[in-house]
Each structure stands twice: as C-alpha cells, then as structure tokens.
Structure 1
C-alpha cells in the first residue's frame, strides 16, 4: 500500500484559503506546519494538483504555486511523472524530537507529562546493580524477551494487582511506545482500522499514522466514555485493533468505571478486536484506590496490556513492557529482534532494583503529585480564574478548558513568555478539535508551576485570538 494522503483528507486539515491573501502562501504555510508537527508524516505522497484544487476550492494555478513554494522551502520533493512527496528541510527539527529535547532556553517546560527520579532512589539502585552487573557481563547479554528476573517481577506485580500472569506472558520493551509499535507491526496491516479515543496520547496516534492504519475515533469527554458508542463502533466497524487509556486517561484524566470495562471487553470479544490497553498511568492514583488491570474484568484472550516506568519512575530508563498471550509474546519478540536484539541489561537491572522497592517509593511520588496538582490548581484559580477543569482522580495533568478555541495560538504566545506547553489540538484524531483546551502537567515543583501560571497569565493579557498564530516556516517572508 502506497504511503499517500488523499485530497479530501488533506483539505480537511487545511484552513479555508478564501479569506487569505495570497492564498497559495497561506496554504503552503499550513502544509509545512503539518509536516513539522508530524500530523503529515515524511515521505508521504501528496495529492495530485488537480485533485487538491477541487478539494480545497482553489484554482489549479494556486495549488501549483503551493507545491512550488513547498519544494523551494525543502518541504516537498518531486520526480517527473511520479508525484510529490513530503520532506523536511535541512536544519529543521521535527516537532516530536523538539518536544522530547525540551527547552534549550529559559522556558518552563510543560510540554512533557513526565517526572524526574529522586537522586537518593537512583543512588540506592545503582549500588544494588553493581554486583549484579558484574555477573551479567560474563554472559552475551542478549535478552530479546527481557531479563528473566525483570519479567518475573513484572508478572508478579500484575498478579498482585488482580490479573494472574506468568513470566512467559511478559515482554520487556524499550518503553511503552516501543511496545505499541511492536504490536502495530505484528497485528496491524496498512489500511486496517484501529479504534482510538478522541482525544488520545499524541505519540500513540503518530505511531498509528506511521503504520498507515485508519483510525476510527470514539469520544472521551470530561465525564468519561460513552460506552454505547464504543460498543456500536466495535460492532459496526469491526476494527482490527482498539487502543484505550482507561486509567487516568491522557489527556483528560478520566478513570473508566469497572462496569464499562467489562462491557467493552465483551464487545471486543464479539467483534474479534484486539484491545491494546495502555496502563502507563494506572498506579498514579491520587484520590481513589489504584484500579485493577483492565484485562481482569472479563475475557482477555485478545487483550494486550502495555506498561512503563516513565510516569511512575523516570522516562530516561526507557523500560516498558507488555502482557499478552505467550504465543503472541513469542511473535513480538521475533519482531523485536529485527530492530534492536534486546534491551540494555544495565537499564533492566536498574528497573529491577527500583521495582523491587516500588511499594516504598511510590507513596512519596503520589504525595508529591498531590501537592503539585494542588499548587497548579490554586495558581490557575488565582491568576486565570476564567479557565475551568475537572480535577482528575489521578494521573499527571489537568485538561483545561480555555472557554474559546485559542489553544494552539495560546501555546505559541505562551512560548514567547517563557512557557512551553501543548494545545489540545495536538491530542486530537481529527483536525480542528480541542482548540479550546490545554494539557497542563503538574510534574515540576510547586514554585515552578506557580511561576509558569504567572507567565501564562501575562501571555493571556498580551492578547490571543484564533487567528493570531504565526507558525510560518523560516522560508516564508
């Protein structure tokens, strides 16, 4: 299946060119911004000029000028008779990479909902790892399934949480995103449908786009999931996969009730859909007991559970895992060998040491999150009282309603005032949605959160409107 984007699909992602002059420059700016954001992947074939002209309601001359400008700026490449593909200009950084690198200036970084690891915990783990590492270096060090001791600990934690699990049902991965990518590669084929929540975790959505899967969205509101819509989607669309974040959903913070989990499991069993359940945030329960594993609520023969240490400990470890039927774990390990042979033994030994002490470390992490959440909420109420939100019972961020569709514009203005943050549209499966939202993590210190809110209040006072975003590439005057 060719990597391409249809004319109607691209047109739906673009602003109306009618009110902008010159229209070709306006459209070229929008397409280049989509490429930088990752909303359109690299090396994707763009629609033919005539088809896109009809879809956006512009002349073919206008679209020819758009493509010429994209090529001149390095955002597209063409070959005679073969079409035009997306590209990235030399010196420009993909927004996903820039987001992970974080701030290289004085901006407060609220784009990433990921905490750091206490130095004392790291020092203790390193002291424990030394002798174990000395033993490991006498071996080849390849563990495509993961270090056996770590697989056993992860399995035991699932069992203690209420889902009986054997080590052979566990595959250790380089983070939850790696686990998801492996699953998409084995169970998905280009063009397959995957049911996703809307909004959802942006990096997961990007992985699905790159796997050339067709997303079918089901809404998640401040009040949670409409299970009847989920059931009807599974029944009528019969997707190959479904990706869910039922525990302190990212970004809304919602927690799915037990009875809804059971209904979705039954519906997925009837449709034959594989459910990929992301439980990365499951242990970050701040106001309620930690939820039982999703797969413990019903038939789980086609449920894959993904977990990670990124949110509970530190993303820099790059340790995650998945729980699945043993036969599928073997297939996924085979897929994994083709790319990285196995994870770092040192990181896995550190993860093992930290997980063995998790019951001692986690309570302090949860209390810290409660304090930070309260500091963020108090600062917002004091400095920007017109914004609203529902306090999540767990997780690491607030899903804030701005009252008007200015999320992306505000994120740009906030950066000018020293705060790096994501507008709600970044978490959307469909163009134009959630522009009235911001995701604000509470993963930095209370003092830093208070300073960030003061800077955001100054940005708001500066003035923000839906049309105030200037995300032009450097080649546009």
Structure 2
C-alpha cells in the first residue's frame, strides 16, 4: 500500500463510521481468522461494515485467505453477502489452507473491475506458474477433504500452545484464536522489541507487535504461530519462559545462585 503512495490508517470498530465518512480510497479488512489475533468478526459487524461502505461509496476489500481455517464450524458469510457486488472485492488464496508454497490466489469482484485488473496484471506479470495453477484447480474440487484434517491439526496445536503459555508464562495475556494460524500475546512489562532480542538468544524468533501496526504501536505485543508439532511448540514456550525470566529480571538471582553452587 505504501509503495502505491497510500496513507495507511488502522481503524477500530468504534471509529469505523467516522473513518469511512472521510471517503478513503479503499478499506481493507480481514474479518475472518484475522492476522495476527485469529479473531472472527460477528455477522452483525459484517452487515454494518458493508452498509457503511456502501453508504459512503468506499471500495471494500475482504481478505479471506484464512477464512477456511475457522475452528468452530464453517466461516461466517463473506462481506459480499451483505454488500453490492460492485462495492465489495473478495480475495482468497490456497497458501494458508494447503501449503505456504502454493502461491495461487483469486479475486472475486464485479466484471469490469476484474477485466481491468487482468489488463494491469498482463502489463506487470507474464503469467502464473502453470503446474501450481493445475494443482490448485484439482485441490479446489477436493476442498472439504483437505480442509478437515488441516483445521483439526491447527486447532489441536492452538490449544496446546495456549495451555503451555498458561502453564509456563501465566503473566502473559492473550485471547484464544477463533481460527487461522496465530495468536496475539501481550507482555505485562517492557517492550517486545527488546524482549525479541533476548528470545532470539534463547533460540526463538518472535515478531514484535510494531511490525503489525502501520503507526508503530502495540509495543507490548507479539505474534506467536502454532504451525509446529506439539513437542516443538512445548520446546519453544520453554525457551520463551527462560528468555522472559532473564528479560524480566526474575532469572538473574537464580543464575547467580547456580554459579555459586
């Protein structure tokens, strides 16, 4: 967005009406299994969002890349179910549901916009890789077969990570995700930018919250994913707990005591 000279402004649900009244060039939302916290927007919020976008004539992008990864039943209806066809643009991808290397996605929008985007792509891109597109077309016909095991595995790993964090790092705060691949964690003290350096020395790389805020906020947050098997998640949380003890100061006395003994 910034490469296109856009001024990016995050919007809270409470400030949505005021933001859309200013007629931005585009509104971009991830209402289902949102990155980084895995939250799912309720149906009432989707209806209100689509209505406000239509009222103020603001194009609305619905990013559904993680929409197939809801842990409790099927995903809620997309924003297009509540708005005019020419107003809502839906984007999706196979990369989260199937495999990160399958970089095949799509856009659902009004026919004139799709034609325009196709022409623009022809200028900048000679075409997608054929084998991946053939694989995606075959997998789309077996989506239910693919989705079930994938969602069950992610939900189990999510629950395992949450349990490990509650047991080893009870002072950290987070809300369980409704879907997706990540949770959004808040530390009680300090900034995650500094803690991330300590965590890296303990063998765990964590992205600080500032990376997910266009205004550089959320300094006390970090994103943790649950893509790894349970034993690796347990090892990662153990190392995070050691790193937090060192960062927070609670590990210093224990370390000195160990050296004396």
Q: What's the TM-score once normalised by structure 1's chain length?
A: 0.51
**Partner SS, residue 106 of structure 2:** strand
407, 420, 435: which one pairs with 2:205? 420
Asked if the contact 1:406–1:464 (Cα under 8 Å) also holds between the matched residues in 2, the reply is no
**Partner SS, residue 329 of structure 1:** helix
Asked if the contact 2:158–2:226 (Cα under 8 Å) also holds between the matched residues in 1, the reply is yes
Deviation at 1:299, TM superposition (A): 2.4
**Partner SS, residue 311 of structure 1:** coil
Structure 1 segments unaligned to the other structure (5+ residues): 1-207, 220-224, 466-477
Could you give the per-residue CA deviations for residues 101-125 of structure 1, whole angstroms, max 9, x where no partner exists?
A: xxxxxxxxxxxxxxxxxxxxxxxxx
342, 359, 369: which one pairs with 2:127? 342
RMSD: 1.4
**Partner SS, residue 332 of structure 1:** helix
* CA–CA distance in structure 2, aligned partners of residues 217 and 374 of structure 1: 29
Asked if the contact 1:305–1:322 (Cα under 8 Å) also holds between the matched residues in 2, the reply is yes
* CA–CA distance in structure 2, aligned partners of residues 426 and 296 of structure 1: 32
Structure 2 segments unaligned to the other structure (5+ residues): 250-261
Asked if the contact 2:10–2:213 (Cα under 8 Å) also holds between the matched residues in 1, the reply is no
1:297 aligns with 2:82: yes
Match of 1:438 in 2: 222
* CA–CA distance in structure 1, aligned partners of residues 185 and 72 of structure 2: 19
1:391 aligns with 2:192: no
Match of 2:255 in 1: none
**Superposition pairs of residues 34-183 of structure 1, within 5 angstroms:** none
**Superposition pairs of residues 185-224 of structure 1, within 5 angstroms:** 208-219=1-12
11, 17, 20: which one pairs with 1:234? 20
Deviation at 1:464, TM superposition (A): 5.0
Asked if the contact 1:409–1:464 (Cα under 8 Å) also holds between the matched residues in 2, the reply is no
* CA–CA distance in structure 2, aligned partners of residues 247 and 405 of structure 1: 30
1:406 aligns with 2:191: yes
Asked if the contact 1:238–1:272 (Cα under 8 Å) also holds between the matched residues in 2, the reply is yes
The 1:464–1:338 alpha-carbon spacing in structure 2 relative to 1, beyond 3 Å, is farther
Q: What's the TM-score once normalised by structure 2's chain length?
A: 0.91
**Partner SS, residue 173 of structure 2:** coil
1:281 aligns with 2:66: yes
* CA–CA distance in structure 2, aligned partners of residues 257 and 317 of structure 1: 29
1:461 aligns with 2:237: no
1:365 aligns with 2:150: yes
Deviation at 1:209, TM superposition (A): 1.2
Could you give the per-residue CA deviations for residues 341-392 of structure 1, whole angstroms, max 9, x where no partner exists?
A: 2111111001112221111111111110111011101111111111111112
1:260 aligns with 2:260: no
* Segments of 4+ moved more than 4 angstroms: none
Match of 1:128 in 2: none
Match of 2:253 in 1: none
Could you give the per-residue CA deviations for residues 77-108 of structure 1, whole angstroms, max 9, x where no partner exists?
A: xxxxxxxxxxxxxxxxxxxxxxxxxxxxxxxx
* CA–CA distance in structure 1, aligned partners of residues 103 and 83 of structure 2: 30
**Partner SS, residue 322 of structure 1:** strand
* CA–CA distance in structure 1, aligned partners of residues 195 and 35 of structure 2: 20
Could you give the per-residue CA deviations for residues 376-413 of structure 1, whole angstroms, max 9, x where no partner exists?
A: 01111111111111112211111111122421111121
Could you give the per-residue CA deviations for residues 392-440 of structure 1, whole angstroms, max 9, x where no partner exists?
A: 2211111111122421111121111111110111101113x11111110
Asked if the contact 2:32–2:39 (Cα under 8 Å) also holds between the matched residues in 1, the reply is yes
Asked if the contact 1:248–1:394 (Cα under 8 Å) also holds between the matched residues in 2, the reply is yes
Match of 2:105 in 1: 320
